């Protein structure tokens, strides 16, 4: 599964007028994954097949007059099990998620907290065999 690429529109969020919005059917597809090892981030090779995208995400967006933004994720395919491999061959499994994301900040940069659900299933490649 891959996300659609928008060919038109703007990436300049400051052009969005203040107000309350409902974001629907958006998709998140990372172009790379890094793993933090001690004090540095290490580039990895994706082991998981094309099932790492988050799709049909919806939520409320509030943009204030001062350029502040608040996004609260409400629904969608908001988590996916992912396994990556470090250059030495070690595999790292994790859950890529936006579940219950509550992000705040400015239109230039916002971040937030989210819930990482407990998840183990047949599609979750656990290199330790658990």
3-state SS, one letter per residue, for 73-113: EEEEECEEEEEEECCCCCEEEEEEECCCCEEEEECCCEEEE
Structure confidence at residue 20 (pLDDT): 96
Has residue 115 been placed in a domain?
A: no
Q: What is the pLDDT of residue 100?
A: 93
Given a contact cutoff of 8 angstroms between Cβ atoms, the answer to whether 66 and 32 are in contact is: no
Q: Which of the residues in the chain have pLDDT under 50?
A: none
In a domain, 74, yes or no: yes
Q: Residue 119 domain-assigned?
A: no
Phi and psi at residue 15, to the nearest 5° = -80, -10
Report if residue 114 sits inside a domain.
Answer: no
Could you tell me the CATH number of the domain that includes residue 89? 2.40.160.30
Flag whether 55 is in a domain: yes
Q: What is the pLDDT of residue 121?
A: 58
Number of domains in the chain: 1
Evaluate whether residue 129 is within a structural domain: no
Quote the domain boundaries for residue 74: 16-108
36 burial (CB, 10 Å; 0-12 / 13-18 / 19+) is exposed
**Residue 120 within any structural domain of the chain:** no
Burial of 32 (0-12, 13-18, 19+ CB in 10 A): exposed
Domain contains 9: no
The pTM assigned to this predicted structure is 0.74
């Amino acid at each position: 599964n891959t996300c659609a690429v928008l060919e038109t529109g703007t990436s300049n969020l400051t052009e969005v007028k203040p107000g309350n919005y409902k974001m629907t059917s958006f998709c998140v597809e990372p172009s790379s994954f890094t793993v933090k090892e001690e004090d540095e981030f290490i580039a990895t090779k994706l082991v998981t097949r094309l099932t790492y995208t988050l799709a049909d995400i919806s939520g409320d967006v509030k943009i204030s007059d001062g350029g502040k933004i608040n996004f609260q994720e409400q629904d969608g395919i908001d988590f996916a099990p992912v396994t990556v491999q470090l250059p030495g061959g070690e595999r790292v499994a994790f859950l890529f998620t936006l579940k219950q994301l509550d992000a705040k900040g400015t239109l230039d940069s916002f971040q937030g907290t989210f819930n990482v659900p407990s998840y183990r299933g047949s599609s979750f490649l656990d290199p330790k065999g658990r």
